[in-house]
Amino acid sequence: MAATSADTNDTLQARRVAAIPRGLASSLAVFADHAENAALWDVEGRRYIDFASGIAVLNTGHLHPDVKAAVAAQLERFTHSCFQVTPYASYIELAERLNALAPGATPKKTIFLSTGAEAVENAVKIARAHTRRNGVIAFSGGFHGRTIACMSLTGKVLPYKAGFGAMMPEVFHVPFPMAYPRCHARAFSGSAPDAVQGEHRSCACRGNHHRARARRRWVLHCTPGVLAPTARPLRSARHRPDHG
């Protein structure tokens, strides 16, 4: 049943609790009815400013006219073909545009995936296939998604990992290198030297010195990525001869 004028936030919350597992948590018990640009109205007609914007993925705001027109135009042509079965030009065109925007002089290629977790999983697969190495370094405090591999990469144990059993092996967490040591995120982060040392420690603690040679540094963009990492530890690892 879609939302009707009889629905309130309370009635929808009761239906949600009965129909949807509590493991899928929501930040608010406020149910969206419609939205425009940065404003969002709930089912009771209250207006909010939508600072959350789908966790910062709605840069255009709600119902941008160009986005609406592009969706409408696509739905006049075909709904879904699966690029792996029947490819289409707009996939290639978007990849070309992103490749042109990506920094650096090397040639670029792009793959589109359905979710953030799928993107992270495939980044790890691509890195492993290319380097023939297993290890992945991730930042403590980061969040990477809800699959087993992404949960393993996630740096926070509570609430994301507790109770879910064994994690993927060969994941090494280091402090996030950031330039704001007094900020509230300090508990999950460290200075640039901390991050370099943390990487050594994470191997040493596990008795995995030999693994250090078998690892490839992967900088996985994660939730604390809103704080730009300082470049030094990344460069330091890049230029160490045992990190191919």
Q: Which one among 41, 143, 160, 218 touches ligand PLP, defined by CB under 6 A?
A: 143
Q: Kindly state the tokens that stand for 118.
A: 């799928």
Task: Give 144 or 217: the residue with its C-beta nearer to ligand PLP.
Answer: 144
Q: How far is the CB of 117 from ligand PLP (least distance, A)?
A: 3
CB contact at 8 A, 197 and 167: no
- The residues in 34-93 that bind ligand PLP, with binding defined as CB under 6 A, are 55
The answer for residues whose C-beta is within 8 angstroms of residue 196's C-beta and 6 or more apart is: 232, 233, 236, 237
Q: Which stretch binds ligand PLP (CB under 6 A): 75-83, 89-97, 143-151, 205-213?
A: 143-151
Is 145 a residue that touches ligand PLP (CB under 6 A)? yes
Decide whether 24 or 100 has the Cβ nearer to ligand PLP: 24
Please count the residues of this chain forming the interface with ligand PLP, following the rule CB under 6 A: 9
Q: Please state, in angstroms and rounded to a whole number, the distance separating the CA atoms of residues 51 and 62.
A: 12
d(CA 105, CA 182): 36
3-state class of 36 per DSSP?
strand
Q: Which is nearer to ligand PLP, 81 or 115 (CB)?
A: 115
Touching ligand PLP, residues 95-124 (CB under 6 A): 115-117
Using alpha carbons, select from 155, 154, 176 the residue that is nearest to residue 230: 176
Q: What dihedral do alpha carbons 158, 172, 103, 107 form, nearest 10°?
A: -130
For strand 136-139 and strand 171-174, is the pairing parallel, antiparallel, or unpaired?
Answer: parallel
Taking CB under 6 A as the criterion, the residue among 50, 135, 136, 144 binding ligand PLP is 144
Q: Are 83 and 91 in contact (CB under 8 A)?
A: yes
**Options 94-102, 139-147, 161-169, 207-215: segment touching ligand PLP (CB under 6 A):** 139-147
Q: Which residues lie near ligand PLP (CB under 6 A)? A: 55, 115-117, 143-145, 222-223
